[in-house]
Amino acid sequence: MAKVKVRIPAPLQKITQNKQEVTCEAVNIKELIKDLEKQFPGIKARLLDENGKIRRFINFYVNDEDIRFLKHDETSLSEGAEVSIIPAIAGGCYGFD
Amino acid sequence: MALTNEQIERYSRQIILPNVGGKGQDKILKAKALIIGTGGLGAPCGFYLAAAGVGKIGLVDSDKVELNNLQRQILHITADIGLPKTESGKKRLAALNPEVEVITYPIRLDSTNIMEIIKDYDVVVDGSDNFPTRYLVNDACVITKKPLIHAGIFRYDGQAMAILPGQGPCYRCLFPEPPPIGAVPSCQEGGILGAVAGVLGVLQANEVLKFILGIGEMLVGRLLIFNALDSTFRIVKVPRDKDCLVCSEHPQISKLIDYQEFCSLKVKKDCYIKKIA
């Protein structure tokens, strides 16, 4: 288990009690999303589609690397890593509210 | 082209910069930039490009000036309310720098008109406020190999990236597809601090000028993320996606798509949007 910092984008901060940064413990991104859901119920549905895949307009970065170019949600996390969730944005619209 | 005395005086503070000089100023004067959207991003971007002397600036916007625009869309002033934004934008840029030729396109871009418009320009700035336009502009620029400066803003956050088709990733390498219709029951009007729009719009102008001058490292393959509350800039890597729908070797998209606006707030406003192609 690695303890990591997770940056939460503005539209999801409603779910994280207005925190723009939270702490999770997880070995990889898949587990991290589970831990996020445990701490902040409802967040998973915003991040994953009905097939459990990360939505195509949302990216996860470990430090400055996009996990789509690593091992997707199997990308492992090391202690102290910084995870960023970055959605596409357009003029007041995120892909979720 | 020799600079006039007045041009040397007007542009002196940039002409004296290392890597600019008279030659660089000449490049700026000959450059043609298209700004899509004259709102929070396009307005500050337009001002700096006109001030720098960009020879021809195209303004695309189908909206009219509203009172609630003025908090951030600094090309437009109170007396412009009700005017097409392209008109007030042209007036303001011409007042700042009469040398600049400003072309107005008071229309909404779609798959039938975008190619004809972008072909006259060296570089395109995306300051649009909706996903259908964003993806349309990206795809059109990739297909025609037109440099594109992207930025997006939401509340206290901003993102910016430069797209040089063929040389680096495109917007679809970053976010392959817009949110699907129906996946989003309601879209919030997020709000925006005017100065945040300003930061990103000015960053876009800066990328345009670097492109014209051929100086520095553009934001190619790098997404710049601005957090206004922390006053931090971060950069994440954006690799080229070898399976990109539009810019890979085997693109699945070869013709432009008119996506339907997924945001219910905007659909009400733009009831004339076309069905998905």
Q: What is the pLDDT of residues B25-35, one digit of tens each?
A: 999 999 999 99
Query: Cα–Cα distance between A26 and A31 in angstroms, integer?
Result: 5
Residue A64's contacts (CB-CB under 8 Å, 6 or more residues apart) are B234, B235, B236, B237
pLDDT tier at B260 (50, 70, 90 boundaries)? confident
**B140 φ, ψ (degrees, to nearest 5):** -65, -40
By C-alpha distance, the chain B residue nearest A65 is B237
Of residues A10 and B195, more confidence is placed in B195
Element (H, E) at B268: helix B264-269
* Contact at CB, A93 and B187, closer than 8 angstroms: yes
pLDDT tier at A93 (50, 70, 90 boundaries)? low
pLDDT at B272 over 70: no
Is residue A91 a contact partner of residue B228, using CB atoms and an 8 Å limit?
Answer: no
Query: Tell me, what's the pLDDT at B189?
Result: 63
Which residues of chain A are within 8 Å of residue B154 when distances are taken between CB atoms? 10-11, 89, 92-94
Query: Cα–Cα distance between B43 and B48 in angstroms, integer?
Result: 9
Instruction: Using only the alpha carbons of chain A, give its radius of gyration.
Output: 12
Two structure tokens written together for B238: 């954006």
* Contact at CB, B189 and A92, closer than 8 angstroms: yes
pLDDT at B212 over 90: yes
Name the residue among B178, B227, B235 with its Cβ closest to that of A57: B178
Query: Cα–Cα distance between B52 and B44 in angstroms, integer?
Result: 12
CATH architecture of B7-269: 3-Layer(aba) Sandwich (3.40)
Residue B6's contacts (CB-CB under 8 Å, 6 or more residues apart) are none
Query: Cα–Cα distance between B225 and A20 in angstroms, integer?
Result: 14
Two structure tokens written together for B260: 């339907």
pLDDT at A11 over 90: no
Name the residue among B185, B229, B237 with its Cβ closest to that of A66: B237
Q: Pairing between strand A89-90 and B232-237?
A: unpaired
Mutate which: A7, A14, A89, A96, vs B, most B CBs within 10 A: A89
A12 min Cα distance to partner chain B (Å):
12
Mean pLDDT of B63-87: 97
Taken in order A73, B159, B104, B271, the sign of the CA dihedral is positive
Return the ∠ at Cα B152 (arms to B148 and B154), rounded to 5°. Answer: 175
* Contact at CB, A91 and B174, closer than 8 angstroms: no
Mean pLDDT of A46-73: 95
The one-letter amino acid code at A28 reads N
Which residues of chain B are within 8 Å of residue A68 when distances are taken between CB atoms? 241
A37 min Cα distance to partner chain B (Å):
19
B129 min Cα distance to partner chain A (Å):
4
Which residues of chain A are within 8 Å of residue B263 when distances are taken between CB atoms? 93
pLDDT tier at B262 (50, 70, 90 boundaries)? low
A6 min Cα distance to partner chain B (Å):
14
b vs e for B135-165, b when ≥16 Cβ sit within 10 Å of the residue's Cβ?
bbbbbbbbbeebbbbbbbbbbbbbbbbbbbb
pLDDT at B76 over 50: yes
pLDDT tens digits, B215-258 = 999 999 999 999 999 999 999 999 999 999 999 999 999 899 99
Query: Cα–Cα distance between A35 and A29 in angstroms, integer?
Result: 10
Query: Tell me, what's the pLDDT at B252?
Result: 94
Which residues of chain B are within 8 Å of residue A64 when distances are taken between CB atoms? 234-237
Which residues of chain A are within 8 Å of residue B40 when distances are taken between CB atoms? 91
Name the residue among B128, B176, B187 with its Cβ closest to that of A97: B187
Name the residue among B40, B152, B227 with its Cβ closest to that of A89: B152
User: Would you give the DSSP letter of residue B221?
Assistant: T
**Residue corresponding to tokens 């997880």:** A26
pLDDT at B269 over 70: no
Mean pLDDT of B46-66: 98
Polymer length of chain B: 277
Mean pLDDT of B83-89: 98
Domain ranges of chain B: 7-269
Domain ranges of chain A: 2-94
The ipTM is: 0.93
- At the topology level, CATH places domain A2-94 in Ubiquitin-like (UB roll) (3.10.20)
Percent of chain B with pLDDT over 70: 91
Query: Tell me, what's the pLDDT at B273?
Result: 34
pLDDT at A57 over 80: yes
Query: Cα–Cα distance between A29 and B238 in angstroms, integer?
Result: 19
Query: Tell me, what's the pLDDT at B271?
Result: 30
pLDDT tens digits, B128-171 = 988 999 999 999 999 999 999 999 998 899 999 999 999 999 99
Task: Count how many pairs of residues, chain A against chain B, have C-beta atoms within 8 Å.
Answer: 107
- Compute how many other C-beta atoms are within 10 angstroms of the C-beta atom of residue B214: 10
Burial of A4 (C-beta count, 10 Å sphere; 0-12/13-18/19+): buried
Percent of chain B with pLDDT over 90: 84
pLDDT tier at B39 (50, 70, 90 boundaries)? very high
pLDDT tier at A10 (50, 70, 90 boundaries)? confident
